[in-house]
Amino acid sequence: MVTRFFMASEYGGNMQATCPRPSKAFVDSHVPGAPGLWFCVQAGEDFDTIMRVFVKIAAVRGDKKSKYQYQGMYQIKTANPPALTVSEWSQQAPSFHNKWAHGIVKMGWGAVVRSRILLRRELNREPTSDEVDDVIQSGVYKIVTEEDVKQAYFRGDERMGVWTMKCVAYDNRFQQKLHDTFPMWVPPPPKRKKKAGDKKAETKKKTTPPRATENRLRRAKRKRRNDLPVDGQSESDGTVESVQQSDNEDSPKPKAKRRKVDIIELTDDEEPQAPIKYRARGTKSRPIFLN
């Protein structure tokens, strides 16, 4: 007995699908080789190829742990009659009805059935294949509930398809390889799931444009102080003159006066202006001449 996880890893194909399709690389490396019934949501044609059949033997919660046993190579043909009658459907257990109704509503393969049920209710006749395709594309069939599905089968509007399963061969080499490989098989490590924070960081990762940085700096509070003395700086030529001291070396040196400057704060609503140039105010003895 093996698990679905093992079969998907060793032979490819979907781990959840009822009829998985192994990848070509796996099929090329393996040779294809108890009666039963196969049910489907509607009647259909014979299977074109011989199917390799596995049956769940040890059911454990979670498909990765349940055990499946290889049964052989099966030929699957349409039964006669090809579908359950209303009486045969009604004789099945409620769990059978609920299981199929739930699958038809929840799984994508039930869209055809739900679309036909909806169109019959709206058109009061059997829908065409084109009409069914249009409803599937629109997605409006999703309003059909599980109870609607069960009642459609009870009325006979929908009929469950039936196929016969006949074992025609048994691949001993395949079975022996399963027996030898599975006990030593080590499951591959699960893929690391990205956290919400990682996805957010990847989708919203942006570099700050230079212009935004410049504007942000301009909107910041600016405090500039001019500590130059009153007598000693000439703005006409940009040079600084020495301050004349008293003849008395012991006399205290006059303290240089500090100029008061205004503190400019730009808010977000104000447009950034050109850089402000500060200059000392002129005096009567040293006026400032503006060009």
* Tens digit of pLDDT at every position of the chain (291 positions): 567 776 667 666 666 665 655 555 544 443 334 788 889 999 999 998 999 988 777 656 655 567 788 889 999 999 999 999 999 999 999 999 999 999 999 999 999 999 999 999 999 999 999 999 999 999 999 999 999 999 999 999 999 999 999 999 988 898 899 889 888 888 888 888 777 666 665 665 555 555 555 666 666 645 444 444 545 444 444 444 444 444 455 555 555 555 555 555 555 555 555 555 555 566 666 666 565
C-alpha–C-alpha distance, residues 249 and 2, integer Å = 106
* Listed residue (97, 7, 79, 65) closest to 36, CA to CA: 79
C-alpha–C-alpha distance, residues 115 and 108, integer Å = 12
* Listed residue (141, 161, 139) closest to 149, CA to CA: 141
SS3 content of the chain, % helix, strand, coil (to 5): 35, 15, 50
C-beta of residue 144 within 8 angstroms of C-beta of residue 158: no
Ordered by start, the domain boundaries in the chain are 1-83+160-189, 85-158
- Those residues whose C-beta lies under 8 Å from the C-beta of residue 84, and which sit 6 or more positions away, are 159, 160, 162
Record the pTM: 0.52
